[in-house]
Each structure stands twice: as structure tokens, then as C-alpha cells.
Homo-oligomer: A and B are copies of this chain.
Amino acid sequence: MRHLAECGDEAVGIDDEVDITDAGTLREKVADVSPDAICHLAALASVGASWSDPAETYRVNTVGTVNVLSAALGCPRRPRVLMISSSEVYGRVAPGDLPLREDHPFAPVSPYAASKAAAEMAGLQAWLGSGLEVVRARPFNHTGPGQRTDFVVPALARQVAGAQVSGERVLRTGNLDPRRDICDVRDVVRAYRLLLLSGRPGEAYNVCRGESVSIRELAEGLIRLAGGELVIEVDPDRVRPVDLPDMRGDPSKLYEATSWRPEVTLETTLRDVLAHWESLSV
């Protein structure tokens, strides 16, 4: 919303008013607003939680997306729709598949991933069958100030910031070796807006940096930025069993469709997330 305002767009957020699983109310609200474009982000976004209630995950993420598409189709002047999928749809990939391109087949491992892959089918159908201009974004990992601490960068940053106050000398982490393709959320939202403007209907676009970084490098970067001397210690309770060793996307298609390039360096992202937690730890 902040980025859209900065661009001079007139943005209306309806997430506080409407539940996307309530098709009727959603349809009315969208018709009322009569938008030029819809950026559909509403979802149950926790991979972990999706395991405990798969049906609810599909009800919100898949059928909810169908409702958004129907609401768009119901507008006299049909809006473009950007739907936010996830790099999770690629799922179980082999090292030789990296960097992942958009035509890589789906191999969803979690119910969350499958619910997003399923939602993509609905988006593709709305274009092929009804001509609704639907563009799909597949963001890879991203972070920034404000992200919840069930994601790795803020979880580490909170600990590092806290240690500066408490005098704690140890940073406890999960698996250190997995590598992830991490963008700054401020770059990601720029990509979304550009895809709404010039993404090709029916197409899907990776939103990623194209390079991966290990969790160890993230932890060391945060420690260095804090000027501290924390020792990294792997906590068995935080080690997850099924981690892909590496995950990396190919952003070429996004580069070709838009002027987007990542602008925020990983160093800046880490600095800003750390500053956020330092401001809360004082």
C-alpha cells in the first residue's frame, strides 16, 4: 500500500472488510470499487499450519482465489488481476534444475504449496477460458522490516538485537547450510506493481534475485552488522527434517517483461531488519 501511494496510485485495501471465502460480499465490494487492477495477496500463508488443516488451506487459498477471479469477471469493466503464488509450487527439485524457470513442473510438498499450485490452475483457466487478464507472480523468499519472527531473518535479527542488551554470547539457529534466494520485500512489491502493469496475461513470473545465500551467511552478516562477537550454535530443536539444500530462481522472464531489477542489497535488508529489532530491544 505504501509503494502504491508513493507511485501516485489510488489504492483500496479491502482485507479488513471482506473475507475472500464469502463470494457474494466479495463480488459486491469489488463491483463497488470497480478497480483497474486487483492485486490478490489474501491467503493462509503458513506452510507449517497447512499440514494441520489441508482442506481449510484449499478453501481459502484455492476457492478463495476462484472467488476473487469470479468477482473480477463480474465487473462491467474487467480489471487485470495479479495473483500471488509462491516458489513453493516447484517443491521437490533436483540441484540440476536450478535456477528454476517458470516452465518447471510443479512438485508441491506441503498442502500450502499444492493449494497455491491449484490456485494457479484457476488463474490460468480464467485467462484461457474467459479472457480475464490474470498474471501470476511466484515470489521466492523475501524479508524486510516488519516481517514476523516465524521467518528466518527476523528470527535471527531479534536474537542478535536482544543479545546486545542481555549480554548473551550465543546465537541459536536451525540448519545453517540451506541456501535460499532472498529478496527485500520492498523490491518484491515493486515487481508486483510492474507485473500488474506489463506482465503478459496467462503467464507466470518468478520474483527472485537469481542467487542464493546460506543461512550461515545470513547469521554471520547480522552478527557483523551488530558489531558483536556472538558464537553461532546449532539448536537441534530448530533443525527441520526436510530442507531443500538450495533454492534459486531464474528472474530472466521478469527482467524481460518489466524494467525490474533488485535494488536493495542483502546487506541493506539485514541492516534494516536488525535496526527494527534494535529499536524494540532498547
Chain A residues with CB under 8 Å of chain B are 23, 54-55, 58-59, 62-63, 66-67, 69-70, 91-92, 103, 105-111, 113-115, 117-119, 121-122, 124-125, 128-129
Residue of B nearest to A23 (CB): B55
Residue of B nearest to A91 (CB): B128
Given A58-B122, A109-B128, A110-B129; 12 other pairs, CB 8 A cutoff: A23-B55, A54-B66, A58-B62, A58-B66, A62-B62, A91-B125, A91-B128, A106-B124, A107-B128, A111-B129, A114-B122, A117-B125
Residue of B nearest to A123 (CB): B114
Q: Is the CB of A121 within 8 A of B129?
A: no
List the number of copies, as a whole number.
2
For the complex, give the distance between the alpha carbons of A63 and B59 in Å: 7
> Most chain-B CB neighbours within 10 Å: which of A59, A106, A108, A129?
A129
Q: Is the CB of B109 within 8 A of A129?
A: yes
Q: Is the CB of A124 within 8 A of B129?
A: no
